[in-house]
Amino acid sequence: MISVEEALDKILGFVEILGREDKPILDCLGQVLAEDVYAPFDVPPQDNSAMDGYAAQTKSIVGASYEHPKVLRIVGEIAAGCVSDLTVEPGTAVRIMTGAFVPYGADVVVPFEETDEVDRKGTSVYSAEVGVRVGLPDGSNIRRRGEDIAKGELVMKAGRLLRPAHIGVLASLGKGTVSVIRRPLVGILATGNEVLEIDKPILPGRIYNSNSYSLAAQVLMYGGIPKLLGVAPDDVEQLTVAVRHGFDCDMLVTSGGVSLGDYDVVKQVLAAEGDVSFWTVRMKPGKPLAFGTFKRDDGKKIPHLGLPGNPVSSMITFELFARPAIFKMMGRGSLARLNITAILEDSIKNSDGRRIFARVAVGKRDGKYFASLTGQQGSGILTSMTRANGLAVIPEDTKEVKRGTAVEVIMFDWDDLEIGEKNK
């Protein structure tokens, strides 16, 4: 038996970072930038107003107050998007809207609320003059040219994971397309004579293929592109044909057929078609695992992960081994999950020296995380995964973790902390 770490190291040793592709920025969310991005110009491109108000000179409004406003002559108006050649001189002001470029000569913008504009409405001096009721320091309510990004600056480095704000910054630089590491195409093949495609009427002795769907959803969630290769029966020839349909993929994931049963033929096919190791990994669930590479006729090698068939085991082994492999292919820097310490609300026994990954619902109360088991822990009980947002790690050499003990939890769904809160 090998450890979880050894298995992961071997798998990551096989997968390589993929090539780059140029795409419209909105399609790049969650992908890793493959080029350095420099600013072609200043952002913002000119000094502009942060408020609706009056552009003026600081010295014209020194000492202004509610009781003793400084009256300025209005020489014009600038709306956002307009180019204006207006000039502000001592004693004058330009009515200006948020985002409009600050006119020459002005060094301050006085917000409408700090003037008597409203009170002048309907009088003869409305729009000709305005009384300013505060003195403001130089630069108030002006966004300076280049204050966000200076021309020529390295704005984003290759290797940066693109989140919504990065997509926005790229747009602000006028970059409609960028170069990113492409998403991996991940072939997913279910195996088993009993496994039936979900578009067929259910038959005696058969079960629906859930694995392909949970695994494909995981691929999608982690940024890959799933390619569903259907279900192959436990038959060497048919399985070989099905596997070959996935030879255009960057990685192949199969489920089932890797344990010691009479019909577990995946091993035979894998051994014939490539260079494959069968491991028993010191973990629960998910002990049987196959990993290796298929060799295409043109010599290209495709990494293959043979996951166990039990629905929970296949999802957890995917989470622990396929997710980091996908992240690595996508060029992502940090492959590890953020783990937390939580107080276990159930006792867990560990009888056979494997590392247990227990499905738990984590919630937060009084500033502390609590984790409770999501019901029965059989590896066929897929609904136990729907109620979980984390995996509590029970080390190999720990015989029992008692209720109330702090344990390490691998969080796979931070957005669903409610799961744990509802539980109690």
Peptide bond into 303 cis (omega under 30): no
Which one of residues 92, 140, 255, 374 is an interface residue with ligand AMP (CB under 6 A)? Answer: 255
194 touching ligand AMP, by CB under 6 A: yes
Contacted entry of Mg ion, ligand AMP, none for residue 82, CB cut-off 5 to 8 Å set by kind? none
Backbone angles phi, psi at 200, to 5 degrees: -100, 150
Q: Write the DSSP symbol of residue 368.
A: E
Strand 368-373 to strand 339-344: parallel, antiparallel, or no bridges (unpaired)? parallel
CB of residue 380 vs Mg ion: minimum separation in angstroms?
12
CB 312 within 8 A of CB 384: yes
Identify which of residues 277 and 398 has a Cβ nearer to ligand AMP in the complex: 277
**Closest distance of CB 323 from Mg ion, Å:** 23
**Part in contact with ligand AMP (CB under 6 A); list of ranges 82-90, 111-119, 304-312, 359-367:** 304-312
Q: Which stretch binds ligand AMP (CB under 6 A): 166-174, 303-311, 370-378, 411-419?
A: 303-311
Contact between 75 and 93 (Cβ < 8 Å): yes
Residue 310 contact among ligand AMP, Mg ion, none, beta carbon within 5 to 8 Å by kind: ligand AMP
Residue nearest to ligand AMP (CB): 309
Work out which of 140, 211, 254, 384 binds ligand AMP, going by CB under 6 A. 211
> Under the phi-then-psi rule, with left for phi > 0, alpha for psi from -120 to 50, and beta for the rest, what region is 85?
alpha
Residue with tokens 């578009």: 199
Taking CA atoms, 12 is separated from 89, 99, 273, in Å, by 67, 49, 21
Q: Is the Cβ–Cβ distance between 265 and 247 less than 8 Å?
A: no
Distance CA 43, CA 163 (A): 20
Q: Rule CB under 6 A: is residue 207 a binding residue for ligand AMP?
A: yes
Q: Is the CB of 182 or the CB of 304 nearer to ligand AMP?
A: 304
**Looking at residue 136, what DSSP letter applies?**
-
Q: Which one of 208-216, 277-285, 333-341, 401-409 is the stretch in contact with ligand AMP (CB under 6 A)? A: 208-216
Spell out the residues 6+ positions from residue 70 whose beta carbon is closer than 8 angstroms to its own: 60, 61, 62, 63, 64, 131, 132
**Cβ at position 204, least distance to Mg ion in Å:** 18
By CB under 6 A, tell whether 286 contacts ligand AMP. Answer: no
Among 90-98, 104-112, 118-126, 301-309, which window interacts with Mg ion (CB under 5 A)?
Answer: 301-309
Instruction: Give the nearer residue to ligand AMP in terms of CB position, either 176 or 378.
Output: 378
The helix (H) or strand (E) run that includes residue 243 is: helix 236-244
Among 187, 192, 274, 292, binds Mg ion (CB under 5 A): 192
Residue 302: name its binding partner from ligand AMP, Mg ion, none (Cβ under 5 to 8 Å by kind): none
Distance of CA 94 to CAs 33, 60, 187, 273, Å? 43, 13, 63, 77
12 closest CA partner among 350, 324, 393: 324
146, 184, 246, 256: which one binds Mg ion (CB under 5 A): 256
- Which of Mg ion, ligand AMP, none is residue 311 near (CB under 5 to 8 Å by kind)? ligand AMP
Which does residue 195 touch among ligand AMP, Mg ion, none (CB within 5 to 8 A, set by kind)? Answer: ligand AMP
SS3 (DSSP) at 290: strand
CB contact at 8 A, 36 and 170: no
State yes or no: residue 288 binds Mg ion (CB under 5 A).
Answer: no
Start-to-end CA span in the chain (Å): 38
Which amino acid appears at position 177 of this protein?
T
Nearer residue to Mg ion within complex by CB, 240 or 398 = 240
User: Among ligand AMP, Mg ion, none, what does residue 372 contact (CB within 5–8 Å per kind)?
Assistant: none
- Cβ of residue 203: shortest distance to ligand AMP, in angstroms? 14
How far is the CA of 108 from the CAs of 52, 288, 320, 409, in angstroms? 12, 70, 57, 54
Of 9-17, 170-178, 218-226, 307-315, the segment contacting ligand AMP by CB under 6 A is: 307-315
Tokens of 263: 């019909």
Residue 243: φ, ψ to 5°: -60, -40
- Decide: is 57 part of the binding site for ligand AMP (CB under 6 A): no
**Residue 27 contacts which entry, Mg ion, ligand AMP, none (Cβ below 5-8 A, type-dependent):** none
- Work out how close the CB of 146 gets to ligand AMP at its nearest, in angstroms, rounded to a whole number: 56
Provide the binding-site residues for ligand AMP, judged by CB under 6 A: 190, 192, 194-195, 207, 209-212, 255-257, 259, 261, 308-311, 380
Provide the binding-site residues for Mg ion, judged by CB under 5 A: 192, 256-257, 309
